[in-house]
Amino acid sequence: MPFPLAAGALALCLLPFSMAVAGDGVPEALRAAAPDTPAAPVRSLSLPRPVDSPEAVRDLGSALSRWQQANRDVGAFPRGHADLLRWEATQSPRADAPSARGPVLSVERAWQRALRARPDMVQPLGASPAQTLALGRSTLAHRQAVHAAWLDAVAARELLQHEQAQAQAADTAAELGRRMVQAGNWSQARLLREQLAQAQQQAAVLRAQRHADRSAEALWRLMAVWQADDIASLQAQLPDRLPAVPARPTAPDNLESQVLQARADGAAQRAETARAARAVDAASRQAWHQALADAAAAVPPGAQATPLSLTQPALQRRHGLAATMVHEAERLREAAALRSLARDIWQERHTRHALAEHAEQVLLPLQTALEQETLLRYNGMLQSTWELIEAARARLGAAAEVTRSRHAFWQAQLAWDTLLAGGEPLALAATEPGTGPAAASAAPH
């Protein structure tokens, strides 16, 4: 799942640029920018269908006839309305699911396709160390963005499938309620509650579809995909499920040192700080720290805008002392922040891994077992159809929670991999809502 971090920007030279020029010699960039080039189709909005209610019958004879026919239909099945609906579903023709064209669009394939649109990330000949460092950082940031967009697109696709399954359950419940009202076994108020749940679920499917489309478009933008055939093909090749979470690793003893060593300019910065520190004797250093502590203690309460004022101004006139102390303090803050970020992201990753395992290995099996037990009792006519429908809804909700927890884990894994590669991880949302960001949005330079 993680990107191979050893690949450098020079590998771009080996990538095929088959999409760069069309057969007629026109560069792809000009074709994409031309207003008259055919555009990719936009998904038409599928509005929720209105829910039906039993037609009111004012004639007593017609009402009696309809009630008798409905009960004759239901009576042909052991468990009544629910078995009738199940039989009707088996008689309806089913549309075959569209098959994916080409290989699965893995995160590695998405990254390679995105690189084909970024020749600016090829290391120029004779590049200076500073240019190489800046190019490496921008390449790592782009790789992280593509990886995050791929995770979002796959997760949104999977969550849409869960919402569609919930919509099928809501449709079944509403239709079952409609028939029970028609047969005279239910009140109109109970049917309206089921129809309200159906309407709400239809809206949830629309929101999930929009989220899936928006997430996919974010990925296509990073990959510079614009042609209708390419978009349709890649859309079909997106995986239907996120990868399973790996085994939970233990925290390494050198957690912070791994992150510190990954900073490409870390060694040079430490050497620079060491050279400056050798010019300051121990007595001057101690005097400075004491004067700074005294100045901080002398700041009156509530006067946050008051600058510090040293009680020994002579220290500030010593050649290079103030500049060296400021430089060391900057390095101290950066190192402390980086160590804190390493611990924080690792703990967030560890927590999200545990939550993903819990959802998949505890919550979902329990809900599935409960649904199976309810089905057995339903088959024995010990529980009602509505209890079975509710158990199915709960199991579908637990399956959606597995997807969300997996997505959260892989986001934290991406942040950790980026930090280990010397980059600045994207901000992570809090594990629990309302607790604030769990990780800083960027590591120090």
The pLDDT assigned to 274 comes to: 84
**Least-confidence region, from 194-198, 202-206, 250-254, 353-357:** 250-254
The mean of the pLDDT values for the chain is: 78
Is the model's pLDDT at 106 over the cut of 50? yes
CA 21, chain centre distance (Å): 34
The pLDDT score that the predictor gives to residue 264 is 73
Q: What is the mean pLDDT of residues 372-379?
A: 81
Span 218-271, pLDDT tens digits? 999 999 998 888 899 999 999 999 999 998 877 777 888 888 888 877 777 888
Record the tokens describing residue 229, joined without a space. Answer: 């055939």
In terms of pLDDT, which residue wins out, 228 or 61? 228
Is the pLDDT assigned to residue 445 strictly greater than 80?
no
Please give the backbone phi and psi of residue 76, each rounded to the nearest 5 degrees, phi first: -75, -5
Q: Are 122 and 114 in contact (CB under 8 A)?
A: no
Report the chain's terminal Cα–Cα distance, integer Å. Answer: 27
- Segments making up each domain of the chain, as ranges: 8-21+102-241, 245-295+312-445
Q: Of the given ranges (162-176, 238-252, 398-412, 430-444), which has the lowest mean pLDDT?
A: 430-444
* Alpha-carbon gap, residue 231 to 223, rounded angstroms: 10
Which of the residue ranges 68-77, 194-203, 355-364, 415-424 would you say has the lowest mean pLDDT? Answer: 68-77
Query: 13-43 pLDDT, tens per residue?
Result: 333 333 455 556 667 776 667 676 676 666 6
Among the listed residues 357, 293, 352, 364, the one whose alpha carbon sits nearest the alpha carbon of residue 325? 293
Q: Could you give the angle at which helices 385-420 and 364-379 cross, rounded to 10 degrees?
A: 170
One-letter-per-residue 3-state SS of the chain: CCCCCCCCHHHHHHCCCCCCECCCCCEHHHHHHCCCCCCCCCCCCCCCCCCCCCCCCCCHHHHHHHHHHHHHHHHCCCCCHHHHHHHHHHHCCCCCCCCCCCCCCCHHHHHHHHHCCCHHHCCCCCCCHHHHHHHHHHHHHHHHHHHHHHHHHHHHHHHHHHHHHHHHHHHHHHHHHHHHHHCCCCCHHHHHHHHHHHHHHHHHHHHHHHHHHHHHHHHHHHHCCCCHHHHHHHHHHCCCCCCCCCCCCCCCCCHHHHHHHHCCCHHHHHHHHHHHHHCCCHHHHHHHHHHHHHHHHCCCCCCCCCCCCCCCCHHHHCCCHHHHHHHHHHHHHHHHHHHHHHHHHHHHHHHHHHHHHHHHHHHHHHHHHHHHHHHHHHHCCCCCHHHHHHHHHHHHHHHHHHHHHHHHHHHHHHHHHHHHCCCCCCCCCCCCCCCCCCCCCCCCC
Confidence of residue 58 (pLDDT cuts 50, 70, 90): low
Q: What is the pLDDT of residues 290-318, one digit of tens each?
A: 888 888 888 777 766 777 778 787 888 78
Q: Which residues contact 117 (CB under 8 A, 6 or more apart)?
A: 223, 224
Segment 102-106 shows an average pLDDT of: 88
114 or 294, greater pLDDT? 114
In whole angstroms, how large is the CA radius of gyration of the chain? 31
Label residue 44 by pLDDT band (50, 70, 90). Answer: low
Q: Which residues contact 325 (CB under 8 A, 6 or more apart)?
A: 280, 285, 288, 292
pLDDT of residue 18: 38
pLDDT for the residue 442: 38
If pLDDT is split at 50, 70 and 90, which confidence band does 51 have? low
Q: Give the length of the chain.
A: 445
Q: What is the pLDDT of residues 136-184, one digit of tens each?
A: 999 999 999 999 999 999 999 999 999 999 998 888 888 888 877 777 7
Tokens of 46: 């599928």
pLDDT of residue 153: 97
What does each C-alpha distance from 413 to 247, 408, 426, 444 come to in angstroms?
13, 9, 11, 19
Residue 84 has pLDDT above 50, yes or no: no
Q: According to the per-residue pLDDT averaged within each range, which of 79-88, 107-116, 120-129 is highest?
A: 107-116
**pLDDT of res. 432:** 57
Q: What is the pLDDT of residue 208?
A: 96
Query: pTM of the entire structure?
Result: 0.77
pLDDT band at 434 (very low <50, low <70, confident <90, very high): very low
| pLDDT over 60 (residue 6) | no
Across 206-214, average pLDDT: 95
Closest CA to 14 of 104, 108, 119, 105: 119
| Residue in 142, 202, 138, 203 with CA at minimum distance from that of residue 170 | 202
Q: Which region among 85-89, 224-228, 394-398 has the lowest average model confidence (pLDDT)? A: 85-89
Give yes or no for residue 393 having a pLDDT over 80.
yes
Task: Indicate the residue type of 153.
Answer: A
Q: Which two tokens stand for residue 300?
A: 């009156």
